[in-house]
Amino acid sequence: MIAFATDPDTYRHWRVDYDGPVATVSMQVDPRGGLGDYELKLNSYDLGVDIELYDIVQRLRFEHPEVRAVVLTGGIDKMFCAGANIQMLAGSTHGHKVNFCKFTNETRNGIEDASAHSGQTWIAAVNGTAAGGGYELALACADIILIDDRASTVSLPEVPLLAVLPGTGGLTRVVDKRHVRRDLADVFATRAEGVKAEQALHWGLVDAIAPKSGFATVVQARAEAFAATSDRPMEGSGVALPRLGASATVSADGLRATSVDVSIDRDLGAARIVVKGPTGPQPTTGDELIAAGVQSWLLSTVSELDHAILHLRFNEPEVGTWILTTEGDPDEVASAEQILISDADHWLVRECRLYWTRTLKRLDVSSRTLVTLIEPGSCFVGVLAELVLAADRALMFDGEPSSSSRSAPVLRLTDVNDGQLPMSNGLSRLRTRFWGRDTVHAAAIDRIGKQLTASEAADAEVITNALDEIDWDDEVRLMLEERNSFSPDALTGLEANLRFVGPETLETKIFARLAAWQNWIFQRPNAVGPNGALHSYGTGSRPQFDEGRV
Protein backbone atom coordinates (compact mmCIF):
# COMPACT_ATOMS: atom_id res chain seq x y z
CA MET A 1 0.00 0.00 0.00
CA ILE A 2 1.21 3.47 -0.89
CA ALA A 3 1.04 5.99 1.94
CA PHE A 4 1.20 9.74 1.50
CA ALA A 5 2.10 10.75 5.04
CA THR A 6 5.37 12.52 5.44
CA ASP A 7 6.84 15.53 7.20
CA PRO A 8 10.10 17.48 7.24
CA ASP A 9 11.57 15.27 9.95
CA THR A 10 11.31 12.22 7.75
CA TYR A 11 12.21 13.59 4.29
CA ARG A 12 14.80 11.40 2.63
CA HIS A 13 15.18 13.29 -0.59
CA TRP A 14 14.85 16.99 0.03
CA ARG A 15 16.21 19.76 2.18
CA VAL A 16 14.40 23.04 2.82
CA ASP A 17 16.26 26.12 4.03
CA TYR A 18 14.54 29.26 5.19
CA ASP A 19 15.99 32.73 4.85
CA GLY A 20 13.30 35.30 5.49
CA PRO A 21 11.14 35.76 2.40
CA VAL A 22 13.13 33.26 0.33
CA ALA A 23 13.08 29.52 0.96
CA THR A 24 15.37 27.13 -0.88
CA VAL A 25 14.21 23.63 -1.71
CA SER A 26 17.10 21.35 -2.61
CA MET A 27 16.62 17.99 -4.26
CA GLN A 28 19.11 15.43 -3.08
CA VAL A 29 17.59 12.08 -3.71
CA ASP A 30 18.75 9.17 -1.56
CA PRO A 31 19.60 6.54 -4.20
CA ARG A 32 18.50 3.78 -1.85
CA GLY A 33 15.34 5.52 -0.79
CA GLY A 34 13.06 4.39 -3.61
CA LEU A 35 9.68 2.77 -3.07
CA GLY A 36 10.75 -0.23 -5.15
CA ASP A 37 13.75 -2.31 -6.03
CA TYR A 38 15.73 0.25 -8.03
CA GLU A 39 18.41 2.81 -7.37
CA LEU A 40 17.45 6.47 -7.60
CA LYS A 41 20.67 7.63 -9.20
CA LEU A 42 21.51 11.22 -10.14
CA ASN A 43 18.52 12.88 -8.55
CA SER A 44 16.04 10.75 -10.44
CA TYR A 45 12.69 10.38 -8.76
CA ASP A 46 9.90 7.98 -8.08
CA LEU A 47 6.52 8.48 -6.43
CA GLY A 48 8.07 8.56 -2.97
CA VAL A 49 10.30 11.48 -3.90
CA ASP A 50 7.31 13.31 -5.33
CA ILE A 51 5.16 12.65 -2.28
CA GLU A 52 7.77 14.53 -0.28
CA LEU A 53 7.80 17.36 -2.81
CA TYR A 54 4.04 17.64 -2.58
CA ASP A 55 4.36 17.85 1.19
CA ILE A 56 6.93 20.63 0.82
CA VAL A 57 4.72 22.65 -1.51
CA GLN A 58 1.81 22.34 0.90
CA ARG A 59 3.77 23.22 4.03
CA LEU A 60 5.40 26.23 2.40
CA ARG A 61 1.97 27.59 1.64
CA PHE A 62 0.35 26.94 5.00
CA GLU A 63 3.18 26.96 7.50
CA HIS A 64 5.26 29.79 6.09
CA PRO A 65 3.35 32.98 5.41
CA GLU A 66 6.66 34.81 5.38
CA VAL A 67 7.99 32.86 2.37
CA ARG A 68 7.35 34.88 -0.77
CA ALA A 69 9.71 33.18 -3.18
CA VAL A 70 10.88 29.58 -3.36
CA VAL A 71 14.13 28.61 -5.02
CA LEU A 72 14.10 25.05 -6.31
CA THR A 73 17.56 23.68 -6.94
CA GLY A 74 19.62 20.54 -7.13
CA GLY A 75 21.38 19.51 -3.96
CA ILE A 76 23.97 17.49 -5.89
CA ASP A 77 26.90 19.11 -7.66
CA LYS A 78 26.26 19.66 -11.39
CA MET A 79 22.90 17.93 -11.16
CA PHE A 80 19.51 19.57 -10.94
CA CYS A 81 17.32 16.55 -11.59
CA ALA A 82 17.48 13.64 -14.03
CA GLY A 83 13.74 13.13 -14.20
CA ALA A 84 11.65 10.08 -13.43
CA ASN A 85 13.67 6.97 -12.72
CA ILE A 86 13.73 4.79 -15.80
CA GLN A 87 14.11 1.46 -14.05
CA MET A 88 11.07 2.39 -11.99
CA LEU A 89 9.07 3.21 -15.14
CA ALA A 90 10.21 0.08 -16.96
CA GLY A 91 9.24 -2.11 -14.01
CA SER A 92 5.88 -0.51 -13.25
CA THR A 93 2.43 -1.64 -14.23
CA HIS A 94 0.55 0.50 -16.72
CA GLY A 95 -1.78 1.64 -13.97
CA HIS A 96 1.06 2.73 -11.72
CA LYS A 97 2.73 4.69 -14.52
CA VAL A 98 -0.50 6.53 -15.27
CA ASN A 99 -1.23 7.28 -11.61
CA PHE A 100 2.36 8.32 -11.01
CA CYS A 101 2.24 10.76 -13.93
CA LYS A 102 -1.08 12.17 -12.79
CA PHE A 103 0.16 12.81 -9.25
CA THR A 104 3.42 14.38 -10.42
CA ASN A 105 1.46 16.58 -12.83
CA GLU A 106 -0.82 17.70 -10.03
CA THR A 107 2.16 18.60 -7.87
CA ARG A 108 3.67 20.67 -10.68
CA ASN A 109 0.32 22.37 -11.30
CA GLY A 110 0.27 23.09 -7.58
CA ILE A 111 3.65 24.80 -7.89
CA GLU A 112 2.26 26.98 -10.68
CA ASP A 113 -0.80 27.67 -8.58
CA ALA A 114 1.41 28.88 -5.70
CA SER A 115 3.27 31.24 -8.03
CA ALA A 116 0.09 32.52 -9.64
CA HIS A 117 -2.26 32.80 -6.68
CA SER A 118 -0.44 32.49 -3.35
CA GLY A 119 2.20 35.18 -3.66
CA GLN A 120 4.81 32.44 -3.39
CA THR A 121 6.74 32.39 -6.62
CA TRP A 122 8.78 29.31 -7.49
CA ILE A 123 12.11 29.85 -9.22
CA ALA A 124 14.17 27.07 -10.71
CA ALA A 125 17.87 27.52 -10.01
CA VAL A 126 19.12 24.93 -12.46
CA ASN A 127 22.57 24.31 -11.08
CA GLY A 128 23.42 21.48 -13.43
CA THR A 129 21.76 18.99 -15.73
CA ALA A 130 17.98 19.10 -15.92
CA ALA A 131 16.84 16.17 -18.01
CA GLY A 132 13.34 15.06 -18.87
CA GLY A 133 11.18 15.27 -15.79
CA GLY A 134 13.98 17.36 -14.30
CA TYR A 135 13.52 20.08 -16.87
CA GLU A 136 9.76 19.68 -16.57
CA LEU A 137 10.08 20.45 -12.88
CA ALA A 138 11.89 23.64 -13.83
CA LEU A 139 9.17 24.40 -16.40
CA ALA A 140 6.60 24.40 -13.60
CA CYS A 141 8.45 27.29 -12.00
CA ALA A 142 7.71 30.89 -12.95
CA ASP A 143 11.36 31.63 -13.66
CA ILE A 144 14.23 29.40 -14.79
CA ILE A 145 17.88 30.30 -14.31
CA LEU A 146 20.35 27.90 -15.90
CA ILE A 147 23.99 27.71 -14.91
CA ASP A 148 26.29 28.62 -17.80
CA ASP A 149 29.20 26.25 -17.17
CA ARG A 150 29.68 24.87 -20.71
CA ALA A 151 28.42 21.49 -19.53
CA SER A 152 24.98 21.75 -17.98
CA THR A 153 21.99 21.31 -20.26
CA VAL A 154 18.27 21.27 -20.19
CA SER A 155 16.72 18.46 -22.20
CA LEU A 156 13.63 16.42 -22.93
CA PRO A 157 15.26 13.18 -24.10
CA GLU A 158 12.20 10.95 -23.66
CA VAL A 159 11.36 10.56 -27.35
CA PRO A 160 14.86 9.72 -28.63
CA LEU A 161 15.97 7.66 -25.63
CA LEU A 162 12.85 6.04 -24.23
CA ALA A 163 10.23 6.18 -26.99
CA VAL A 164 7.74 7.84 -24.65
CA LEU A 165 6.64 11.45 -24.21
CA PRO A 166 7.79 13.79 -21.49
CA GLY A 167 5.06 12.90 -19.00
CA THR A 168 4.68 16.00 -16.86
CA GLY A 169 3.63 18.67 -19.29
CA GLY A 170 6.99 19.46 -20.85
CA LEU A 171 5.82 19.65 -24.46
CA THR A 172 2.75 21.71 -23.61
CA ARG A 173 4.63 24.11 -21.35
CA VAL A 174 7.43 24.62 -23.86
CA VAL A 175 5.09 25.80 -26.62
CA ASP A 176 2.04 27.08 -24.75
CA LYS A 177 3.56 28.60 -21.64
CA ARG A 178 7.03 29.60 -22.80
CA HIS A 179 6.05 30.26 -26.43
CA VAL A 180 8.99 28.35 -27.86
CA ARG A 181 8.50 27.97 -31.60
CA ARG A 182 7.09 24.56 -32.42
CA ASP A 183 9.91 23.60 -34.79
CA LEU A 184 12.53 24.50 -32.20
CA ALA A 185 10.51 22.53 -29.68
CA ASP A 186 10.65 19.60 -32.08
CA VAL A 187 14.41 19.91 -32.39
CA PHE A 188 14.74 20.26 -28.64
CA ALA A 189 12.55 17.28 -27.77
CA THR A 190 14.42 14.98 -30.13
CA ARG A 191 17.91 16.06 -29.10
CA ALA A 192 18.90 13.65 -26.37
CA GLU A 193 21.94 15.65 -25.32
CA GLY A 194 19.86 18.76 -24.73
CA VAL A 195 20.71 22.42 -25.02
CA LYS A 196 23.32 24.44 -23.15
CA ALA A 197 22.87 27.79 -21.50
CA GLU A 198 23.22 30.31 -24.33
CA GLN A 199 21.11 28.42 -26.81
CA ALA A 200 18.55 27.60 -24.13
CA LEU A 201 18.20 31.30 -23.40
CA HIS A 202 18.03 32.15 -27.09
CA TRP A 203 15.29 29.59 -27.72
CA GLY A 204 13.29 30.70 -24.70
CA LEU A 205 13.79 27.47 -22.77
CA VAL A 206 15.10 29.40 -19.74
CA ASP A 207 14.71 32.98 -18.52
CA ALA A 208 18.27 33.73 -17.48
CA ILE A 209 21.71 32.20 -17.45
CA ALA A 210 24.65 32.86 -15.18
CA PRO A 211 28.17 31.53 -14.82
CA LYS A 212 28.97 29.46 -11.78
CA SER A 213 30.69 32.36 -10.06
CA GLY A 214 27.66 34.60 -10.30
CA PHE A 215 24.91 31.99 -10.19
CA ALA A 216 23.94 32.30 -6.53
CA THR A 217 23.86 36.08 -6.77
CA VAL A 218 21.63 36.10 -9.84
CA VAL A 219 19.29 33.56 -8.28
CA GLN A 220 19.06 35.51 -5.05
CA ALA A 221 18.43 38.79 -6.87
CA ARG A 222 15.65 37.32 -8.97
CA ALA A 223 14.11 35.58 -5.97
CA GLU A 224 14.11 38.85 -4.05
CA ALA A 225 12.54 40.67 -6.97
CA PHE A 226 9.71 38.16 -7.08
CA ALA A 227 9.40 38.24 -3.30
CA ALA A 228 8.97 42.01 -3.44
CA THR A 229 5.82 41.63 -5.53
CA SER A 230 4.13 39.27 -3.08
CA ASP A 231 1.13 40.21 -0.98
CA ARG A 232 1.85 37.64 1.72
CA PRO A 233 2.17 39.01 5.26
CA MET A 234 5.65 39.91 6.43
CA GLU A 235 5.09 38.55 9.90
CA GLY A 236 2.79 36.28 11.85
CA SER A 237 2.69 32.54 12.00
CA GLY A 238 1.19 29.91 9.81
CA VAL A 239 -0.65 26.76 10.69
CA ALA A 240 1.05 23.43 11.14
CA LEU A 241 -0.21 20.71 8.82
CA PRO A 242 -0.42 17.16 10.09
CA ARG A 243 1.06 14.37 8.01
CA LEU A 244 -1.36 13.75 5.13
CA GLY A 245 -3.83 11.11 6.26
CA ALA A 246 -2.74 11.33 9.89
CA SER A 247 -6.33 11.36 11.08
CA ALA A 248 -7.32 8.41 8.89
CA THR A 249 -7.45 4.73 9.76
CA VAL A 250 -7.16 2.73 6.57
CA SER A 251 -8.56 -0.79 6.38
CA ALA A 252 -9.60 -3.29 3.75
CA ASP A 253 -13.12 -1.88 4.02
CA GLY A 254 -12.14 1.71 3.36
CA LEU A 255 -11.00 4.41 5.70
CA ARG A 256 -12.25 6.39 8.67
CA ALA A 257 -11.18 9.92 9.44
CA THR A 258 -12.71 12.82 11.33
CA SER A 259 -14.80 14.35 8.54
CA VAL A 260 -14.36 11.82 5.74
CA ASP A 261 -15.31 8.16 5.81
CA VAL A 262 -14.94 5.70 2.95
CA SER A 263 -16.67 2.31 2.81
CA ILE A 264 -15.93 -0.04 -0.04
CA ASP A 265 -18.46 -2.39 -1.57
CA ARG A 266 -16.30 -4.73 -3.63
CA ASP A 267 -19.19 -6.53 -5.31
CA LEU A 268 -20.41 -3.22 -6.62
CA GLY A 269 -16.90 -1.94 -7.36
CA ALA A 270 -17.91 1.19 -5.48
CA ALA A 271 -16.68 3.28 -2.58
CA ARG A 272 -19.10 5.38 -0.60
CA ILE A 273 -17.39 8.56 0.51
CA VAL A 274 -19.15 10.40 3.30
CA VAL A 275 -18.09 13.97 3.98
CA LYS A 276 -19.38 15.10 7.34
CA GLY A 277 -20.30 18.68 8.10
CA PRO A 278 -18.84 20.64 11.01
CA THR A 279 -19.87 20.33 14.61
CA GLY A 280 -19.07 23.12 17.00
CA PRO A 281 -18.01 26.69 16.38
CA GLN A 282 -15.81 27.47 13.40
CA PRO A 283 -13.49 30.40 12.70
CA THR A 284 -15.19 33.49 11.31
CA THR A 285 -12.04 35.46 10.43
CA GLY A 286 -8.68 34.62 8.96
CA ASP A 287 -6.98 35.26 12.26
CA GLU A 288 -9.34 32.85 13.99
CA LEU A 289 -8.53 30.38 11.24
CA ILE A 290 -4.86 30.71 12.05
CA ALA A 291 -5.63 30.00 15.69
CA ALA A 292 -7.82 27.01 14.87
CA GLY A 293 -5.47 25.59 12.22
CA VAL A 294 -6.33 22.05 11.22
CA GLN A 295 -8.87 21.96 14.01
CA SER A 296 -11.05 23.99 11.68
CA TRP A 297 -13.51 21.95 9.66
CA LEU A 298 -12.69 23.73 6.43
CA LEU A 299 -9.01 22.84 6.56
CA SER A 300 -9.21 19.39 8.10
CA THR A 301 -11.92 18.27 5.71
CA VAL A 302 -10.13 19.28 2.54
CA SER A 303 -6.99 17.57 3.76
CA GLU A 304 -8.89 14.38 4.55
CA LEU A 305 -10.63 14.49 1.19
CA ASP A 306 -7.29 14.99 -0.54
CA HIS A 307 -5.91 11.95 1.24
CA ALA A 308 -8.97 9.81 0.55
CA ILE A 309 -8.78 10.57 -3.19
CA LEU A 310 -5.10 9.68 -3.34
CA HIS A 311 -5.60 6.52 -1.32
CA LEU A 312 -8.44 5.30 -3.52
CA ARG A 313 -6.62 6.19 -6.72
CA PHE A 314 -3.43 4.36 -5.89
CA ASN A 315 -4.52 1.60 -3.60
CA GLU A 316 -7.99 0.70 -4.82
CA PRO A 317 -7.81 0.66 -8.63
CA GLU A 318 -10.64 -1.85 -8.97
CA VAL A 319 -13.09 0.38 -7.19
CA GLY A 320 -14.40 2.12 -10.28
CA THR A 321 -17.21 4.21 -8.81
CA TRP A 322 -16.94 6.78 -6.07
CA ILE A 323 -20.26 7.61 -4.44
CA LEU A 324 -20.11 11.07 -2.96
CA THR A 325 -22.39 11.77 -0.02
CA THR A 326 -22.57 14.22 2.87
CA GLU A 327 -23.97 14.17 6.38
CA GLY A 328 -24.52 17.04 8.71
CA ASP A 329 -26.19 20.32 9.44
CA PRO A 330 -26.40 22.49 6.32
CA ASP A 331 -26.38 25.72 8.30
CA GLU A 332 -23.17 24.69 10.00
CA VAL A 333 -21.56 24.13 6.60
CA ALA A 334 -22.81 27.47 5.35
CA SER A 335 -21.51 29.16 8.44
CA ALA A 336 -18.14 27.39 8.29
CA GLU A 337 -17.46 28.24 4.66
CA GLN A 338 -18.72 31.82 4.91
CA ILE A 339 -15.19 32.87 5.78
CA LEU A 340 -14.13 32.09 2.19
CA ILE A 341 -16.19 35.09 1.10
CA SER A 342 -16.20 37.31 4.18
CA ASP A 343 -12.43 37.29 4.72
CA ALA A 344 -11.41 36.26 1.22
CA ASP A 345 -8.28 38.39 1.09
CA HIS A 346 -6.71 36.93 4.21
CA TRP A 347 -3.71 34.91 3.17
CA LEU A 348 -4.71 31.75 5.03
CA VAL A 349 -8.34 31.93 3.91
CA ARG A 350 -7.02 32.20 0.39
CA GLU A 351 -4.80 29.16 0.92
CA CYS A 352 -7.76 27.27 2.26
CA ARG A 353 -9.82 28.15 -0.79
CA LEU A 354 -6.98 27.24 -3.13
CA TYR A 355 -6.55 23.89 -1.38
CA TRP A 356 -10.25 23.14 -1.94
CA THR A 357 -9.82 24.21 -5.55
CA ARG A 358 -6.89 21.86 -6.10
CA THR A 359 -8.56 18.97 -4.30
CA LEU A 360 -11.76 19.31 -6.30
CA LYS A 361 -9.59 19.36 -9.44
CA ARG A 362 -8.06 16.07 -8.26
CA LEU A 363 -11.57 14.72 -8.22
CA ASP A 364 -12.22 16.01 -11.75
CA VAL A 365 -9.19 14.23 -13.19
CA SER A 366 -9.64 11.01 -11.24
CA SER A 367 -10.43 8.19 -13.62
CA ARG A 368 -13.38 7.00 -11.58
CA THR A 369 -17.09 7.40 -12.10
CA LEU A 370 -18.34 10.05 -9.70
CA VAL A 371 -21.91 9.60 -8.53
CA THR A 372 -23.30 12.03 -6.01
CA LEU A 373 -26.27 10.93 -3.93
CA ILE A 374 -28.24 13.69 -2.27
CA GLU A 375 -29.98 11.79 0.48
CA PRO A 376 -31.86 12.59 3.66
CA GLY A 377 -29.45 14.02 6.20
CA SER A 378 -27.17 15.50 3.57
CA CYS A 379 -25.63 18.96 3.66
CA PHE A 380 -24.55 19.78 0.10
CA VAL A 381 -23.90 23.45 0.69
CA GLY A 382 -21.26 25.66 -0.97
CA VAL A 383 -17.94 23.84 -1.01
CA LEU A 384 -19.82 20.56 -0.57
CA ALA A 385 -22.27 21.45 -3.35
CA GLU A 386 -19.24 21.27 -5.62
CA LEU A 387 -19.43 17.50 -5.08
CA VAL A 388 -22.77 17.63 -6.84
CA LEU A 389 -21.43 19.72 -9.70
CA ALA A 390 -18.27 17.59 -10.07
CA ALA A 391 -20.23 14.38 -10.44
CA ASP A 392 -20.85 12.47 -13.63
CA ARG A 393 -24.34 11.99 -12.24
CA ALA A 394 -26.09 13.51 -9.26
CA LEU A 395 -29.27 11.92 -7.96
CA MET A 396 -31.54 13.51 -5.38
CA PHE A 397 -33.96 11.75 -3.08
CA ASP A 398 -37.46 13.10 -3.48
CA GLY A 399 -39.71 12.38 -0.52
CA GLU A 400 -39.88 12.05 3.21
CA PRO A 401 -36.92 10.70 5.13
CA SER A 402 -37.74 7.25 6.47
CA SER A 403 -36.16 8.00 9.81
CA SER A 404 -37.34 10.90 11.86
CA SER A 405 -33.79 11.58 12.94
CA ARG A 406 -32.81 12.56 9.43
CA SER A 407 -33.71 15.81 7.78
CA ALA A 408 -34.78 16.23 4.18
CA PRO A 409 -31.96 16.10 1.63
CA VAL A 410 -30.25 19.43 1.31
CA LEU A 411 -28.71 21.11 -1.68
CA ARG A 412 -27.86 24.78 -1.46
CA LEU A 413 -25.62 26.84 -3.70
CA THR A 414 -23.67 29.69 -2.16
CA ASP A 415 -21.45 32.47 -3.47
CA VAL A 416 -18.58 30.02 -3.24
CA ASN A 417 -20.08 28.10 -6.16
CA ASP A 418 -20.01 31.21 -8.33
CA GLY A 419 -16.37 31.10 -9.39
CA GLN A 420 -14.44 30.68 -6.14
CA LEU A 421 -13.42 27.10 -6.93
CA PRO A 422 -12.64 27.01 -10.66
CA MET A 423 -12.02 23.82 -12.59
CA SER A 424 -8.85 23.35 -14.59
CA ASN A 425 -10.61 24.81 -17.64
CA GLY A 426 -10.74 28.10 -15.74
CA LEU A 427 -14.51 28.03 -15.32
CA SER A 428 -16.67 27.36 -12.31
CA ARG A 429 -18.36 23.97 -12.29
CA LEU A 430 -21.69 25.76 -12.67
CA ARG A 431 -20.46 27.63 -15.73
CA THR A 432 -19.05 24.41 -17.16
CA ARG A 433 -22.30 22.62 -16.51
CA PHE A 434 -24.26 25.28 -18.36
CA TRP A 435 -21.67 25.95 -21.07
CA GLY A 436 -23.36 27.89 -23.87
CA ARG A 437 -26.58 28.22 -21.83
CA ASP A 438 -26.24 31.57 -20.15
CA THR A 439 -29.89 31.89 -19.19
CA VAL A 440 -29.90 28.61 -17.32
CA HIS A 441 -26.63 29.59 -15.66
CA ALA A 442 -28.09 32.93 -14.58
CA ALA A 443 -31.16 31.18 -13.20
CA ALA A 444 -28.95 28.90 -11.13
CA ILE A 445 -27.00 31.87 -9.83
CA ASP A 446 -30.32 33.44 -8.83
CA ARG A 447 -30.96 30.46 -6.57
CA ILE A 448 -27.83 31.06 -4.54
CA GLY A 449 -28.61 30.89 -0.85
CA LYS A 450 -31.88 29.01 -1.30
CA GLN A 451 -32.41 25.51 -0.08
CA LEU A 452 -33.58 23.55 -3.11
CA THR A 453 -36.13 20.80 -2.95
CA ALA A 454 -35.61 17.87 -5.27
CA SER A 455 -37.98 19.23 -7.83
CA GLU A 456 -36.50 22.72 -7.61
CA ALA A 457 -33.03 21.26 -8.05
CA ALA A 458 -34.25 19.33 -11.08
CA ASP A 459 -35.87 22.46 -12.51
CA ALA A 460 -32.65 24.40 -11.99
CA GLU A 461 -30.81 21.54 -13.71
CA VAL A 462 -28.22 21.30 -10.95
CA ILE A 463 -28.94 17.58 -10.51
CA THR A 464 -29.34 14.81 -13.04
CA ASN A 465 -32.53 13.36 -11.60
CA ALA A 466 -34.85 13.56 -8.69
CA LEU A 467 -35.90 10.03 -7.76
CA ASP A 468 -39.02 9.22 -5.86
CA GLU A 469 -38.44 7.74 -2.41
CA ILE A 470 -40.15 4.52 -3.49
CA ASP A 471 -37.74 4.00 -6.37
CA TRP A 472 -34.62 5.37 -4.73
CA ASP A 473 -32.94 2.20 -3.43
CA ASP A 474 -33.65 0.11 -6.52
CA GLU A 475 -32.78 2.74 -9.06
CA VAL A 476 -29.56 3.73 -7.37
CA ARG A 477 -28.49 0.10 -7.05
CA LEU A 478 -29.39 -0.62 -10.68
CA MET A 479 -27.39 2.34 -11.88
CA LEU A 480 -24.35 1.35 -9.84
CA GLU A 481 -24.55 -2.26 -11.00
CA GLU A 482 -24.84 -1.19 -14.60
CA ARG A 483 -21.88 1.13 -14.26
CA ASN A 484 -19.83 -1.68 -12.79
CA SER A 485 -20.60 -3.85 -15.83
CA PHE A 486 -18.97 -1.45 -18.31
CA SER A 487 -15.36 -1.48 -19.45
CA PRO A 488 -13.30 0.63 -17.05
CA ASP A 489 -11.20 1.92 -19.96
CA ALA A 490 -14.20 3.06 -21.96
CA LEU A 491 -15.60 4.80 -18.87
CA THR A 492 -12.29 6.56 -18.29
CA GLY A 493 -12.30 7.84 -21.86
CA LEU A 494 -15.97 8.80 -21.69
CA GLU A 495 -15.63 10.73 -18.48
CA ALA A 496 -12.43 12.49 -19.59
CA ASN A 497 -14.22 13.65 -22.74
CA LEU A 498 -17.39 14.88 -21.05
CA ARG A 499 -16.05 16.59 -17.94
CA PHE A 500 -14.20 19.48 -19.57
CA VAL A 501 -16.19 21.55 -22.03
CA GLY A 502 -15.43 24.99 -23.31
CA PRO A 503 -12.02 26.58 -23.16
CA GLU A 504 -8.83 24.65 -22.72
CA THR A 505 -5.89 25.63 -20.55
CA LEU A 506 -2.39 24.35 -19.96
CA GLU A 507 -3.83 22.05 -17.33
CA THR A 508 -6.62 20.60 -19.43
CA LYS A 509 -4.21 20.11 -22.32
CA ILE A 510 -1.83 18.25 -20.04
CA PHE A 511 -4.49 16.01 -18.52
CA ALA A 512 -6.49 15.48 -21.68
CA ARG A 513 -4.23 15.57 -24.68
CA LEU A 514 -0.81 14.81 -23.31
CA ALA A 515 -1.96 12.22 -20.79
CA ALA A 516 -4.13 10.42 -23.33
CA TRP A 517 -1.30 10.19 -25.86
CA GLN A 518 1.07 9.05 -23.16
CA ASN A 519 -1.40 6.38 -21.99
CA TRP A 520 -1.51 5.15 -25.56
CA ILE A 521 2.25 5.12 -25.92
CA PHE A 522 2.58 3.33 -22.58
CA GLN A 523 0.58 0.49 -24.15
CA ARG A 524 2.62 0.18 -27.30
CA PRO A 525 5.32 -2.48 -27.80
CA ASN A 526 7.68 0.15 -29.19
CA ALA A 527 7.87 1.58 -25.67
CA VAL A 528 7.01 -1.22 -23.26
CA GLY A 529 7.42 -4.44 -25.24
CA PRO A 530 10.31 -6.83 -24.50
CA ASN A 531 12.33 -5.14 -27.26
CA GLY A 532 10.88 -1.71 -26.62
CA ALA A 533 12.88 1.31 -25.64
CA LEU A 534 12.03 1.34 -21.94
CA HIS A 535 13.47 -2.13 -21.48
CA SER A 536 16.44 -1.80 -23.77
CA TYR A 537 17.54 1.54 -22.32
CA GLY A 538 20.87 1.17 -20.60
CA THR A 539 21.38 -2.43 -21.74
CA GLY A 540 23.53 -1.49 -24.72
CA SER A 541 21.10 -3.10 -27.16
CA ARG A 542 19.00 -0.95 -29.42
CA PRO A 543 15.20 -1.11 -29.26
CA GLN A 544 13.38 -2.81 -32.12
CA PHE A 545 10.58 -0.69 -33.52
CA ASP A 546 7.56 -1.59 -35.57
CA GLU A 547 7.87 1.22 -38.12
CA GLY A 548 4.17 1.50 -38.90
CA ARG A 549 2.62 4.90 -38.26
CA VAL A 550 -1.02 4.98 -37.35
Q: In 365-500, which ranges are continuous DSSP H helix?
A: 386-389, 429-433, 438-446, 454-459, 469-485, 488-498
Identity (one letter) of the amino acid at 537?
Y
Looking at residues 49 to 88 of the shown chain, list those that interact with a second copy (rule: CB under 8 A): none
CA atoms 386, 389, 392, 393: torsion sign:
positive
Residue 172 found at the interface with a second copy (CB under 8 A): yes
If one asks whether residue 398 binds a second copy (CB under 8 A), the answer comes out as: no
From 158, 304, 375, 507, active-site residue: 158
Instruction: Give the Cα separation of 49 and 307 in Å (integer).
Output: 17
- Provide, rounded to whole angstroms, the least separation between the CB of residue 237 and a second copy: 40
Asked if 84 is an active-site residue, the reply is yes
Q: Which is nearer to a second copy, 18 or 486 (CB)?
A: 486
Q: Which three-class secondary structure state does DSSP give residue 259?
A: coil
The secondary structure of residue 67, as a DSSP letter, is -
> Residue 457, Cα to own-chain centre: how many angstroms?
30
Among 193, 497, 538, 541, binds a second copy (CB under 8 A): 497
133 a catalytic residue: yes
Instruction: Verify binding: residue 432, a second copy, rule CB under 8 A.
Output: yes
Site for a second copy, residues 98 to 127, rule: CB under 8 A: 98-99
| Residue ranges in 275-334 that form contacts with a second copy under rule CB under 8 A | 317-320
d(CA 524, CA 519): 9
Choose, by CB under 8 A, the member of 184, 208, 216, 246 that binds a second copy.
184
User: Does 92 contact a second copy by CB under 8 A?
Assistant: no
CB of 108 closer than 8 Å to CB of 140:
yes
Binds a second copy (CB under 8 A): choice among 41, 94, 150, 477: 94
Interacting residue with a second copy among 179, 213, 530, 539 (CB under 8 A): 179
Closest to a second copy by CB, 73 or 425: 425
Please report whether residue 37 would count as binding a second copy according to CB under 8 A: no
Per CB under 8 A, the list member of 7, 30, 176, 327 interacting with a second copy is 176
Q: Which of 69, 82, 84, 512 is catalytic?
A: 84
Of 44-52, 407-415, 452-460, 493-501: span binding a second copy (CB under 8 A): 493-501
The yes or no reply on residue 456 touching a second copy (CB under 8 A) is no
Phi, psi (degrees; rounded to nearest 5) at 321: -120, 130
CA distance 201 to 195: 9
Applying CB under 8 A, the site for a second copy has a residue count of: 88
For position 394 contacting a second copy by CB under 8 A, the verdict is yes
Residue 389 and residue 356 in contact, taking contact as beta carbons nearer than 8 Å: no
Q: Choose between 197 and 514: whose C-beta lies nearer to a second copy.
A: 514
Name residues contacting a second copy, limited to 219-238 (CB under 8 A): none
Give the active site residue among 48, 119, 133, 269.
Answer: 133
Q: Is 547 a catalytic residue?
A: no
How would you class 451 by CB atoms within 10 Å of its CB: exposed for 0-12, middle for 13-18, buried for 19 or more?
middle
Interface with a second copy, residue 95, by CB under 8 A: yes
Running DSSP on this structure, what letter comes out for residue 204?
A: T
DSSP 3-state assignment of 51?
Answer: helix
Measured CA to CA, the distance from residue 10 to residue 59 in angstroms comes to: 14
> Rule CB under 8 A: is residue 267 a binding residue for a second copy?
no
Q: Over the range 290-315, which residues count as b (16 or more CB within 10 Å of their CB) and which as e?
A: bebbbebbbbbbbbbbbbbbbbbbbe
Which residues are annotated as catalytic? 84, 133, 136, 158
